[in-house]
Amino acid sequence: MPYRAPVADYRFLFDHIVALPQVTGTDKFADATPDVVDAILTEAGKLCEEVLAPLQRNGDLHPAHLENGVVRTSPGFAEGYRAIADGGWVSIAASPDHGGMGLPMTVTTAVNEMMSAACLSLQLNPLMTQGQIEALEHHASPALQEIYLPKLISGEWAGTMNLTEAQAGSDVGALRTRAEPNDDDSYAITGQKIFISWADNDFTENVCHLVLARLPESIPGTKGISLFLVPKYIPDSDGNPGKVNTLNVVSLEHKMGLHGSPTAVMQYNGAQGWLIGGANDGMKCMFTMMNNARLGVGGQGIGVAEAAYQHALAYATERRQGKTSGETGAIVDHADVRRMLATMKADIFAARAIALSCAVAIDMARATGDAEWSARAALLTPITKAFGTDTGIAVSDMGVQIHGGMGFIEETGAAQFSRDVRVTAIYEGTNGIQAMDLVARKMMDGGDAAFTLLDEIEADAEAAKTTLPDLADPVWQASETLREAIEWLVAQQDLGARFAGSVPFLRGFARVLGAHYHLKAALAEPGGARERLARFYITRLLPEHKGNFDHARAGATDLMALSPEDLAA
């Protein structure tokens, strides 16, 4: 089935769920009028449906490969990328100071999700560039900004992020890449990085790498890491690609999915690079890019979920097998298939609403400088990333199940969604790390940001009791259960007790948020499909929160009592 961009769903969410008008009502985003936003969504949808979606299978069947040291990309990817760049889709949220559109991150999030649904392997390229643009806007010197930002924003050049080394995965502080000062203001970067997405391509003039490395005599761990911009081609005096830098792609990984996206081992042999931010500020600078990417990766999971759902729904409405109680005679009328489809659709809506709410908080923080909005964005980022990608994995898996035996056959395309999306729960910080971040760093305020959000949820539920009491009351009760779980959590001085239940805690938090957004949807369109979907979610999926919070509050004693020998017995 051809992909169809869910533009109407974004419009509904913008108007009724996440309150985009409060963003566009600020001076910073006043140019993002309803007409402009509508045009952006419509044109992005056309790009995804007509240009990017037809490339989805090409990337899987004809992977990127290394040929005499040059990365050759999948058929049609160069043309697809050019359509993205020429349309300005790389630079939606970038500052107009260097050629960007300056539109809200909320709009960018919707566009990125559509592109992820259409062709995740290709979308990963501009997502990395967007993150690099934001990092350079915040931390690079004016001179470097003048050289690199216009080229990255136009899509003439592409950006990457180089963190991981063989001995330094999630433990970034264990990295060994070195940076030695040169006679000028540059540095010589030496070391090897692995798992570098889109480390090279054959359709942009230059590839610019943000590389974490250690200066001489830097202290061990993350506090001794600095960030450097290391281009494939060193810009000449006119800012154009000049001599080739001393770096190269060693090899490309053979992956479970995302075959169209080249993932490389990169070698730096005294490559010339420039410091971004201050010495030993590398993690602070890189987290600007990583937090951008975490929102984007959550959107990738949601996008793939949408594509997998559409694929499964089309099959379920055409496939006839066995006797059904419905009128169509297709498997969509079997109760369990209907259950899976409803779960898919309900969780996609919940995850999408969480992601867009996170983006709204980011936009409001930028527009107002309000610390409460910054705290809201920080709180929602790990939930967006983890729940969005978990939803992508679960929905694509259900898509295979709905296809039955045909789902296990590659030609149907159902399995590709599952293979492609699986890595999103791993990169940009595993979902376990997101959960640990939520229960530790994001609760350093004693839970204040979370409690403020819960106050809003409970106020909305209280108001809804006069209209939809059977839906509003369970949402209010679930919010109170979440409040109690947070109170228990912040009282734990032992982080081990928090970490042991961090993943179910995040999952339960997301369940409550999803119920809140579904209730708002039901109130906005009572008596229709959105109310019926909300009823399904609140009745059948929301109750999972209690088990999640029971797990979260169990502490670590029984878990850690299981020794490695016990696990091997």
Are residues 183 and 138 located together in one domain of the fold? no
What tens digit of pLDDT does each residue of 48-88 get? 999 999 999 999 999 999 999 899 999 999 999 999 999 99
Are residues 140 and 257 located together in one domain of the fold? no
Are residues 93 and 189 located together in one domain of the fold? no
Residue 294's SS3 state is helix
Strand partners, 191: 268
pLDDT score for 1: 65
CB 383 within 8 A of CB 436: no
Are residues 140 and 255 located together in one domain of the fold? no
Domain boundary among 144, 174, 209: 144
Catalytic residue, from 428, 458, 480, 544: name it. 428
Are residues 126 and 175 located together in one domain of the fold? no
pLDDT score for 425: 98
CATH number (domain holding residue 102): 1.10.540.10
Are residues 16 and 137 located together in one domain of the fold? yes
What tens digit of pLDDT does each residue of 446-476 get? 999 999 999 999 999 999 999 999 999 999 9
Q: Count up the domains in the chain and report the number.
A: 3
CB 236 within 8 A of CB 282: no
pLDDT score for 168: 82
Pairs from 91-98 (Cβ < 8 Å, separation ≥ 24): 91/130, 91/133, 91/153, 91/154, 91/155, 92/40, 93/130, 93/134, 94/130, 94/133, 94/134, 94/137, 94/149, 94/153, 95/137, 95/149, 98/137, 98/145, 98/146, 98/149, 98/150, 98/153
Q: What is the CA radius of gyration of the chain?
A: 24
pLDDT score for 291: 74
Q: Is 43 a catalytic residue?
A: no
What tens digit of pLDDT does each residue of 164-214 get? 999 988 888 889 999 999 999 999 999 999 999 999 999 999 999 999 999
Are residues 192 and 217 located together in one domain of the fold? yes
Pairs from 375-380 (Cβ < 8 Å, separation ≥ 24): 375/445, 375/448, 375/449, 375/452, 376/449, 376/452, 376/453, 378/442, 378/449, 379/438, 379/442, 379/449, 379/450, 379/453, 380/354
Are residues 18 and 42 located together in one domain of the fold? yes
SS3 content of the chain, % helix, strand, coil (to 5): 60, 10, 25
Assigned domain for 406 exists: no
CB 394 within 8 A of CB 417: no
Question: What is the pTM (predicted TM-score) of this model?
Answer: 0.97
Are residues 529 and 461 located together in one domain of the fold? yes
Assigned domain for 106 exists: yes
- C-alpha to C-alpha distance for 388 and 386, rounded to whole angstroms: 6
Assigned domain for 448 exists: yes
Residue 324's SS3 state is coil
- C-alpha to C-alpha distance for 36 and 119, rounded to whole angstroms: 25
Are residues 81 and 188 located together in one domain of the fold? no
Domain boundary among 284, 305, 328: 284
pLDDT score for 325: 73
Are residues 519 and 550 located together in one domain of the fold? yes
Assigned domain for 20 exists: yes
- C-alpha to C-alpha distance for 453 and 378, rounded to whole angstroms: 12
Spans of the chain below 70 pLDDT: 1
Assigned domain for 371 exists: no
195: tokens are 């798992």
CB 131 within 8 A of CB 293: yes
CATH number (domain holding residue 196): 2.40.110.20
Assigned domain for 363 exists: no
CB 478 within 8 A of CB 548: no
Range of the domain at 449: 430-556
